[in-house]
Structure 1
Amino acid sequence: MKAKNGLNYESNPKHTPGGQGFRPNAGIEPVNSFELFGESVSVNLKDKIHKSRYTMDNKGNIHRFSPDNRGNYHWSGSTADKIKLNIPN
């Protein structure tokens, strides 16, 4: 699906409990991940544009979206997860 930012988003079932390929050690994708992705931005890290995109939700949690090899992004963790996302600096 094309998001508000013009990029393609596809949910990854490994982040959805009960989904095919769900991994209990993977973060749980929020129900509003598509809307969050639409607000995501690329980030420069150490003078290089990072491939992942980031956004903040209304509670202040940071969400990461990673690219796949087919031109899509998927949700790939947040600072609100049981296993907290480590934000690079």
Structure 2
Amino acid sequence: MKFFLGFFMFIPHYFVLIFRIIVLYFYSLLAFFTILISAEYPEGGHKYAVDTLRYVMRINLYFGFMNDRYPPFSGAPDEELGLERR
């Protein structure tokens, strides 16, 4: 059943994911120049990049049938979401 509903379940994640990746792309360009000037990667940008990559991984695991927990619309760590690891 999850296989047939998977496409419709992916649609909301697709829109969120596209927006997050576009913002990450532009922020990466901005961070490039920030690193050139200050020699440090901004902490907020690092957190956003890690959260986006974590979100992408959760989506890939769920829709690749490797995890049964529906992914939240957040890239927050499991501890912040109150989820225990299995």
Report the TM-score range of the alignment, normalised by the length of the smaller protein: 0.3 to 0.5
Higher strand share: 1
Higher helix share: 2
Q: TM-score, normalised by structure 2?
A: 0.32
